[in-house]
């Protein structure tokens, strides 16, 4: 369960070029409903790939039925069919037959454990990296798309067999990133300090911090910041750097 040097082996650069990812920091922003802030991004992303149906992965929450119904209602309103992998007689077959995959948020440790328990790590990787199936992640679903879940904000309520995640991109993401408030009396570590503590370890990847209402869109070997706010990039032994909306972060895919 170590966060040092967790690199997924396998998959050529040509296979990586097939990936189509929409990695959301979060599903809901203050004052709006579920996925409302990201609606146009999600719809355009799926329609541009001629997707008609989506397989939902609700493993990050315990009440998977309610979670699935919430997602199905939203995607149906957008004109997409949706089924939930937790209701499939064979989850592996459901992933293999998926046009697109949406992995929802919740607890990242629980999500990753369920992916391992249901033997879906390799099927999802193959579907996304080799076959080019669109992948949408939100919060925990974005965390598991990266090298490891070591930069999640969640509590380890369950014990996955490894922190190594799907490695759809060769870096980590910190969703729900919060900037330090200079007026606060809170004396605990800021999010920036915690990420920089992670980077005290050797051989760990960069961390892209996504503020709520922001996302990273990846198509082939091109990665672009989208949404409402800039992203903040942390690289070991370097100062954090801000990247405004529409910034090209494709260099991160060449790690």
On whether residue 216 sits in a domain, the answer given is yes
The predicted pLDDT at position 179 comes to 87
Active site residues: 139, 154, 176
On whether residue 114 sits in a domain, the answer given is yes
Residue 6 makes CB contacts below 8 A (sequence gap 6+) with 147, 148, 150, 162, 163, 164
CA-closest candidate to residue 41, choices 60, 28, 55, 23: 23
Tally Cβ neighbours within 10 Å of residue 154. Answer: 19
The predicted pLDDT at position 15 comes to 52
Distance CA 83, CA 100 (A): 11
Q: Which domain holds residue 213?
A: 13-254
Question: Got the DSSP string for 189-235?
Answer: PPHHHHHHHHTTSTT---EEEEETTEEEEEETTEEEEEESS-EEEE-
Q: What angle do CA 65, 69, 84 make, to 5 degrees?
A: 70
The predicted pLDDT at position 149 comes to 98
Question: Got the DSSP string for 68-85?
Answer: HHHHHHHHHHTT-EEEEG
Contact 43, 78 (CB under 8 A): yes
Extract the residue ranges of the chain whose pLDDT is less than 70: 1-17
Global pTM? 0.93
On whether residue 18 sits in a domain, the answer given is yes
User: Could you tell me the CATH number of the domain that includes residue 159?
Assistant: 3.40.50.880
As for how many domains the chain has, the answer is 1
Tally Cβ neighbours within 10 Å of residue 123. Answer: 19
On whether residue 2 sits in a domain, the answer given is no
On whether residue 245 sits in a domain, the answer given is yes
Q: How far is residue 97 CA from its own chain's centroid? A: 21
On whether residue 6 sits in a domain, the answer given is no
Distance CA 107, CA 99 (A): 25
H/E element holding 135? strand 135-138
For 55-108, the pLDDT digits (tens) are 999 999 999 999 999 999 999 999 999 999 999 999 999 999 999 999 999 999
On whether residue 149 sits in a domain, the answer given is yes
On whether residue 4 sits in a domain, the answer given is no
């Amino acid at each position: 369960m170590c966060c040092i040097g967790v690199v997924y082996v396998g998959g050529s650069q040509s296979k990586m070029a097939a990936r189509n990812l929409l990695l959301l920091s979060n599903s809901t922003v203050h004052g709006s409903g579920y996925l409302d802030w990201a609606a146009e991004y999600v719809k355009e992303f799926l329609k541009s790939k001629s997707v008609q149906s989506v397989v939902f992965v609700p493993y990050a929450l315990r009440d998977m039925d309610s979670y699935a119904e919430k997602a199905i209602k939203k995607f149906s309103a957008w004109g997409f069919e949706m089924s939930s992998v937790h209701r499939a007689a064979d989850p592996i077959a459901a992933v293999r037959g998926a046009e697109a995959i949406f992995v929802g948020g919740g607890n990242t440790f629980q999500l990753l454990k369920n992916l391992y328990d249901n033997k879906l790590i390799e099927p999802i990787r193959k579907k996304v990296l080799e076959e080019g199936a669109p992948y949408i992640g939100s919060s925990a679903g974005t965390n598991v798309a990266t090298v490891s879940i070591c930069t999640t904000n969640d509590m380890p309520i369950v014990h996955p067999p490894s922190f190594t995640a799907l490695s759809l991109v060769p870096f980590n993401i910190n969703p729900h990133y919060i900037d330090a408030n200079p007026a606060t009396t809170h004396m605990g570590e800021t999010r920036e300090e915690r990420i920089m503590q992670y980077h005290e370890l050797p051989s760990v990847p960069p961390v892209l911090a996504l503020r709520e209402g922001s996302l990273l869109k990846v198509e082939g070997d091109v990665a672009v910041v989208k949404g409402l706010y800039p992203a903040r990039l942390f690289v070991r032994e370097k100062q954090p750097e801000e990247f405004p909306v529409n910034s090209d972060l494709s260099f991160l895919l060449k790690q």
